[in-house]
């Protein structure tokens, strides 16, 4: 049977996962009466809640006697480590672009990786049924993007399909047709068959699977030779060592699941059971004459955070895993499959420095651990500073903001205050398209301010560009915080009296402890308040004074918003049921002493 291996790449929200759903339905993967729902591939809770793809996944369909292996990839640059390795399995890519927004910064990031690997591109312009869409302009913009990324003559000559994934049609012209078969025919026509070299077995492990029955499973594409059940082989490690092992079971992808097979030939993607100690990038090679494939290169992390055990007064109330050994084992396990993540031990046995691609990348890891029953404390995200040619350098990003014209000046003002420089300003329909170059530090905490200043209308995206000279001090949070004076339960009476001091992150009746951040001060500087004071009961009553207290509801903050909100002397306590912000030093006297010593040093 002929094989085609294709990856689908696009900016977040342009419709990748919906397209995969339609391919699965079109090729009759499901029975006619089977309830499947939407977003079949985004099958973990976090992906469904956020509406984004985090982990790349494989699925295979059969069309006109050809097996098509489809790889769904994440659109966020934060999960670039996922994309870089799975593209190694593909021979062609479908670049999916929104007919209104056109190519976005993260599309550029993934497309660049695909073109460098010499993959054959097919461009699909999606959502042509949307009002004010501009498919012809978008087609020109895509061509320009290919040209800027140094595409070859052959890659520049890409086929284009138009359609609507939601309505289930794609065609080589703007004319609506009944289904997506023109696109499937285009995949068979334009995507080359896998290149098969002569020689002995070579298979690079590009992703990891896990089964409670079979243990760890290695997934990759057989680039040459064939692999059989029970066959002995050599595992070539990244550090140069060679381990002899044997294939216990072999699986190929079929529809949404896997099928056990006795042998897999070159060109197909398969899952190998029987390996214990392997990492992504290792090569499964011939037993007698092993030859390794080049190691997968992944871009460097740009941000780090301190992960520590939870040492707050509420330690151990929620979580199952609370010790530093639990935390260390879990982080080390994550680095095996999450290539862009690094974990470094610190001087303290209870803290670890975790390096990642961005706030979303680290936030998803923390959220996953929290749901698994871990308790931990995380510090303020810091960018990674390097010394290049003796100069202090920091990472810079390209920030793209699309916003209605009346808010453009507010956006420019906000970005320039954070040391950003404008590169491009142009009009797209009723929207202003702005591009800036900004230090990564300037982006931390910007999203909330951006949405406040533009009434929620701004669409922003950013990607790492390069390391450049340090830009100096960037203004942080303007206002101080309200801190709890002592532990106890908050009362409505107390919060009502304190409302003119600021806005609260807690409701009446919540447990708090000394040093916990319970709200935002209206002014700069931190303020210690007592939210637990009850009303003194007397026999005297005055009409109207006991009317129900009128307290504004608390401000709900997500984990990523908390990560962007905290300053260097604050941290976040994360447990399965709660996310609380607090000072690193809970005792007020300790904080004053440290502040005093810092002043004398300065």
Q: Collect all residues with Cβ–Cβ distance below 8 Å to 452 and sequence separation of at least 6.
A: none
513 contacts 487 by C-beta, under 8 angstroms: yes
Q: Has 346 been labeled as part of a binding site?
A: no
Q: Say how far apart CA 257 and CA 464 lie, in whole Å.
A: 35
What whole-number distance in Å separates Cα of residue 381 and Cα of residue 353? Answer: 10
Q: What are the residues whose beta carbons fall under 8 Å from the beta carbon of 223, sequence distance 6 or more?
A: 196, 197, 202, 203, 204, 266, 293
- Annotated ligand binding at 129? The verdict is yes
127 is in an annotated binding site: yes
Three-class secondary structure of residue 337 per DSSP: helix
Map tokens 């301010």 to a residue: 449
18 annotated ligand-binding residue = yes
Strand partners, 291: none
Is residue 377 a known part of a binding site? Answer: no
d(CA 101, CA 359): 24
Is 221 marked as a binding-site residue? no
Distance in angstroms (rounded) separating the CA atoms of residues 106 and 459: 13
CB 338 within 8 A of CB 56: no
Ligand-binding site membership of 118 (annotated): no
DSSP string, 428-480: ETTEEEEEEEEEHHHHTTHHHHHHHHTTT--EEEEEEEEEEE--------SS-
> What whole-number distance in Å separates Cα of residue 528 and Cα of residue 523?
13
Q: Is 128 annotated as a binding residue?
A: yes
Q: Are 492 and 535 in contact (CB under 8 A)?
A: no
Is 136 a known ligand-binding residue? no
Q: ∠ CA(410), CA(415), CA(417), 5° rounding?
A: 95
Cβ 354 vs Cβ 343: under 8 Å: yes
Give the H or E element holding residue 111.
Answer: helix 105-116
- To the question of whether residue 33 is assigned a binding role by annotation, the answer is no
CA–chain centroid gap for 282, Å, is: 24
Query: Which residue ranges make up the annotated binding site for GTP?
Result: 13-18, 126-129
Query: Which residue ranges make up the annotated binding site?
Result: 13-18, 126-129
């Amino acid at each position: 049977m002929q094989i085609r291996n294709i990856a689908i790449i696009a900016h977040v929200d342009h419709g990748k996962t919906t397209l995969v759903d339609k391919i699965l339905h079109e090729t009759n993967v499901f029975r006619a009466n089977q309830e499947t729902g939407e977003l079949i591939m985004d099958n973990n809770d976090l992906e469904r809640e956020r509406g984004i793809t985090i982990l790349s996944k494989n699925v295979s369909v059969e069309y006109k006697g050809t097996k098509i292996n489809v790889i769904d990839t994440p659109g966020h640059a934060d999960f670039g480590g996922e994309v870089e390795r799975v593209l190694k399995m593909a021979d062609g890519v479908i670049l999916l672009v929104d007919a209104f927004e056109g190519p976005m910064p993260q599309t550029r990031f993934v497309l660049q990786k695909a073109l460098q690997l010499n993959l054959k591109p097919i461009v699909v312009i999606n959502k042509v049924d949307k009002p004010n869409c501009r498919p012809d302009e978008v087609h020109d913009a895509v061509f320009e993007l290919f040209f800027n990324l140094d595409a070859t003559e052959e890659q520049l000559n890409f086929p284009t399909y138009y359609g609507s994934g939601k309505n289930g049609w794609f065609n080589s012209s703007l004319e609506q047709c009944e289904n997506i078969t023109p696109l499937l025919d285009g995949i068979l026509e334009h995507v080359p068959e896998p290149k098969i070299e002569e020689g002995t077995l070579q298979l690079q492990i590009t992703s990891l699977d896990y089964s409670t029955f079979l243990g760890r499973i290695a997934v990759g594409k057989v680039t040459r030779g064939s692999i059989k059940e029970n066959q002995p082989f050599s595992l070539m490690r990244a550090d140069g060592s060679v381990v002899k092992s044997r294939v216990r079971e072999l699986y190929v992808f079929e529809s949404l699941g896997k099928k056990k097979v006795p042998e897999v030939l070159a060109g197909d993607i398969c899952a190998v059971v029987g390996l214990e100690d392997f990492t992504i990038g290792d090569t499964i090679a011939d037993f007698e004459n092993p030859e390794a494939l080049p190691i997968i290169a992944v871009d460097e992390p740009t941000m780090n955070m301190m992960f520590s055990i939870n040492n707050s007064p509420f330690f151990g109330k929620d979580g199952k895993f609370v010790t530093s050994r639990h935390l260390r084992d879990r982080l080390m396990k994550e680095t095996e499959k999450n290539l862009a993540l690094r974990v470094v031990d610190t001087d303290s046995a209870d803290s670890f420095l975790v390096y990642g691609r961005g706030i979303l990348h680290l936030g998803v890891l923390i959220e996953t651990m929290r749901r698994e029953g871990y308790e931990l404390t995380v510090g303020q995200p810091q960018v990674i500073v390097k010394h290049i040619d003796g100069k202090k350098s920091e990472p810079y990003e390209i920030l793209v903001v699309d916003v209605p014209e009346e808010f453009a000046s507010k956006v420019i003002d906000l970005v320039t205050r954070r040391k950003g420089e404008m590169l491009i300003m142009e009009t797209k329909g009723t929207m202003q398209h702005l591009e800036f170059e900004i230090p990564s530090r300037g982006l931390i905490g910007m999203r909330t301010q951006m949405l406040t200043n533009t009434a929620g209308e701004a669409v922003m995206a950013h990607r790492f560009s390069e390391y450049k000279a340090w830009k100096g001090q960037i203004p942080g949070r303007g206002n101080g915080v309200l801190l709890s004076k002592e532990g106890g339960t908050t009362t409505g009476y107390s919060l009502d009296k304190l409302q003119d001091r600021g806005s609260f992150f807690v409701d009446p009746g919540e447990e708090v402890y000394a040093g916990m951040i319970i709200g935002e001060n209206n002014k700069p500087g931190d303020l210690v308040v007592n939210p637990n004071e009850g009303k003194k009961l007397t026999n005297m009553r005055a009409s109207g004074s006991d009317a129900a207290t009128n307290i504004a509801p608390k401000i709900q903050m997500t984990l990523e918003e908390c990560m962007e909100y905290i300053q260097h002397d604050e941290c976040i306590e994360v447990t399965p049921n709660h996310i609380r912000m607090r000072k690193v030093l809970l005792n007020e006297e300790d904080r004053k002493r440290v502040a005093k010593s810092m002043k004398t040093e300065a």
